[in-house]
Structure 1
Amino acid sequence: MVSERSLEVLRVIVQDYVASREPVGSKSIVERHAFGVSAATIRNDMAALEEEELIVAPHTSSGRVPTDKGYRLFVDHLAEMRPLSPAQRQAIEVFLGQSVDLDDVLARTVRLLSQLTNQVALVQYPSVARSRIRHIELVMLAPRRLLSVLITDSGAVEQRVIELGSDLSDEDVAEIRGAINGASAGLSLNDAAHRLNDLPEALTERTRGLVAPVASALIDQIAANRQEKLVMAGAANLVRTEHDFTGSIFPVLEAIEEQVVLLRLFGEMATDQHGVAVSIGRENAAFGLAETSVLSSGYTSSGSDIARLGVLGPLRMDYSNNMAAVRAVARYLSRLLGE
C-alpha cells in the first residue's frame, strides 16, 4: 500500500509524461512541483510505486513512466475531470446544432470529438431495438423506378432506389404508399417487417402484383436499419501518435476497422460515477487493442436505447480532458436528438 504522497507523485508522473512523452525523474518532479521534500524522498516514493507496478523504467537509469495499472489508478482515483471551457461548450452547441438529419449529426459528432481530443472518435448509431416507423415515402423516379424513404421515430432517415419489373402510374404509387403506411406506421421495425411480408395477401390480385416487389425491398431496407453500425473520424490522430506504440500501428488500425469488435467492446464497458467508461491497455487485449485506451459515454435519442460514443488512442493520453469532452458531447447529443 503506497502513501498519500506517493499517490500524488504518481499523479504528477502521469500528467508530466502525458504532456512531454519523456520519462519523469525525481529531480524534475522536485523542480516542477511543490512537494517540499528532497529528491531522495521522491525517489523513495517512486520506488514504492514501482514495487506496486504502477510505474516502470523504460530504460536503465532513466526516469519512470506509468504502467497500465498506474493509468488505471490515476483514472479511478486521481484524475480531476476538467470542465470544458465556455468556448468549447459553445463550439459543441453551434457545430452540432447546424445538423440537418441523424446521419449529419453523427458525422459532425465524430469530427468534433476528434478535434476536441486529438484521438480517434467513434459514435454508435442509435439502437433501433425500440424504434418505430414514422412514415415511408415513395417517390416515382421513372415508370419502373421508385425512391423509398424510411423515417423512424429515432430520427433515422434511410433512402433506397427500388427497381420494378413493370410500369407504375402516379395512382399506383399513391395506392401502394397508402397500403404500406397503413400497415406499418407506428410499428417497431421487427413488427413492420412481418406486417409488410403479409401485406400482399390482403390486397387485390392486381395491386398485389404491384406491391409485392416494393414490400420485399422495404423489408430488406428495414433489416439493414436493424444492424448496429459505427461512424468514425480522426484516424490521422492515431497515426500522428505512432511512436506511442511498440512495433507496427497497422494491427491497431485493422482492429478499429472491425466494427463488430468495437461494438462488443463498447457493450462490455461499465460507466463510472461521472457517466464515463474507460478501458485501458491490457483490459482491451481480447479485442486486439492492448496498447490503446478507449473512453466512452452513453447517449439516447427518442425511441432508442442507449448508444455509445467515445474516443480511442494510445495509453499516453490526456484522460481528464478527454473524459470531460466525451461526457459533454454525449450529453449535448442526447438533448439534441431528444428534441
Structure 2
Amino acid sequence: MNADERRFAVLQAIVADYVSTHEPVGSKAIVERHNLGVSSATVRNDMAVLEEDGLIAQPHTSAGRIPTDKGYRAFVDRLSQVKPLSGAERKAVQTFLEGAVDLDDVLRRSVRLLAQLTRQVAVVQYPTLTRSTVRHLEVVSLTPARLMLVLITDSGRVDQRVVDLGEVLHDDDVADLRAQINAALAGRALTAASAAVAELPEKVPAELRDVATILSTVLIETLVEHPEERLVLGGTANLTRNVADFPGSLRQVLEALEEQVVVLKLLAAAQDPGLVTVRIGEENEVEEMRATSVVSIGYGAGTVLGGMGVVGPTRMDYPGTIAAVHAVARYVGEILSGR
C-alpha cells in the first residue's frame, strides 16, 4: 500500500479505536491492535502528517490522538462499502415493522428500532402532505345534517373532519357528493387536488351548491400543508450515556432537539430515498448541534414522503449507523407503498 493508503489506514484505526474506547489513541496501540505491517516509528510519522492536515488532534492532557470533524468526514467519504445489517438483523427489522397497524404505528416502531440499533436519538418526520396524493375521500353521514370527511393519502396519512351542514341531506345526495368529490380528487397531488376542490360548487346540481361550498372550504383547509409538521423522536436518553461527548453542551443539544424547527432543519438534506446524508459536527448549521453528527435519509418508494435519521455525538459508529438508517428507511418505504 502506498503512503496515502497507509495514512488512511492509520486514520481508520484511530477512528475505530476512539469510537469503541473513548480514549485517545497512541501509535503503540495502533501497531498492537491493527495489522498494518509497519513499525511504530512509521505510524508516528503518519500521525504527524494526519495532524498537520487537521484530520486528528491531540487533546492537551494525552499522548494519544483523536479524530477531528474533518477526520471523521474523510473517513465517512471513503466508506465505499457500508457494512450491511446481518441477515438476522434484517429479518428482525422487517418482522417488527410489518407488525404495524397503521402509519402512526409504522413511524413509532421505526423510531424505536433506530434508537435501539444505533443507541442514538432517532427521529422520523411524518409524510409531508405536499408530496402526497389523494387515495380516497370517504363521506360518512353522522346525522342527516352532519357529515364526517375522511381523507386518505397514498402515504397512509388519514385526516378526519366533522362538518355541520346547517341543512338536512338525503343519502342519495351524500352518495352524489362522494362521487363528485372523489372524481375531482382521487389520484391527484394535494396541491392540484385543492384547486380541483375549489371548482366543485360550480359542478354540482344547484340544490347542493351551498353544501358543496361548505365541504370544499373544509377540504381546502385539510389539503393545504399543515404548518406543524409532526415528528416522532425517540431514544433521547441515549445521549446521556456519554456526557463526556458533549463538553458543556449536552443540555443545549437536548433543548434544541425539543424544537421541531431545529429537527426539521436537520432532516432537510434528506431528499433522496436510498441516499444517506451525514452532517458532522461543525457542518451542522444549527449552532447548538455542532457537537453532534446527523445521519439522515429520505424514505418512500420512488417519491420521498419524509425524512428520518439519527442524532448522536461525532464519536459514533458511522458504518453501523449508516447501515441501520438505510435499512429501516428501505423497509418503511416498502411498507407504506404496499399499504
Q: TM-score range by the shorter chain?
A: 0.7 to 0.9
Q: Could you say which residue in structure 1 is the equivalent of 2:317?
A: 318
Specify the SS of the correspondent of 1:241: helix
For the residues of structure 2 that align with 1:58 and 1:271, how far apart are their CA atoms?
37
The Cα offsets for residues 124-173 of structure 1, whole Å up to 9 and x where unpaired, read as: 33444453322111223455543321012333222233345455555554
Percent sequence identity over aligned pairs: 52
Which piece of structure 1 moves more, 318-327 or 173-182? 173-182
For the residues of structure 2 that align with 1:327 and 1:185, how far apart are their CA atoms?
31
Mind listing any 5+ residue stretches in structure 2 that lack a counterpart? none
Cα contact 2:129–2:225 (8 A) shared by 1:
no
- The Cα shift of 1:202 comes to 3.7
For the residues of structure 2 that align with 1:122 and 1:61, how far apart are their CA atoms?
35
Q: Could you say which residue in structure 1 is the equivalent of 2:331?
A: 332
Q: Could you say which residue in structure 1 is the equivalent of 2:277?
A: 277
Cα contact 2:262–2:286 (8 A) shared by 1:
no
For the residues of structure 1 that align with 2:212 and 2:319, how far apart are their CA atoms?
56
Mind listing any 5+ residue stretches in structure 1 that lack a counterpart? none
Cα contact 1:197–1:215 (8 A) shared by 2:
yes
Specify the SS of the correspondent of 1:186: coil
- The Cα shift of 1:259 comes to 3.5
1:69 equivalenced with 2:70 (yes/no) = yes
The Cα offsets for residues 208-255 of structure 1, whole Å up to 9 and x where unpaired, read as: 333333322222111146975433222222233332112132322333
The Cα offsets for residues 15-38 of structure 1, whole Å up to 9 and x where unpaired, read as: 111111111122322332233444
TM-score by length of 1: 0.86
Specify the SS of the correspondent of 2:70: helix
Cα contact 1:119–1:238 (8 A) shared by 2:
yes
Which piece of structure 1 moves more, 2-11 or 80-89? 2-11
Q: What's the Cα RMSD here?
A: 3.0
Aligned residues: 337
Which piece of structure 1 moves more, 274-283 or 49-58? 274-283
- The Cα shift of 1:92 comes to 1.2
Specify the SS of the correspondent of 1:247: coil
Cα contact 1:106–1:231 (8 A) shared by 2:
yes
Which piece of structure 1 moves more, 229-238 or 122-131? 122-131
Cα contact 2:272–2:299 (8 A) shared by 1:
no
For the residues of structure 2 that align with 1:269 and 1:92, how far apart are their CA atoms?
21
The 5 A counterparts of 1:171-320 are 173-204=174-205, 206-224=207-225, 229-268=230-269, 275-286=275-286, 288-301=288-301, 304-305=303-304, 307-320=306-319
Rate the CA distance shift 1:176–1:227 in 2: closer, same or farther, 3 A. farther
Which piece of structure 1 moves more, 161-170 or 177-186? 161-170
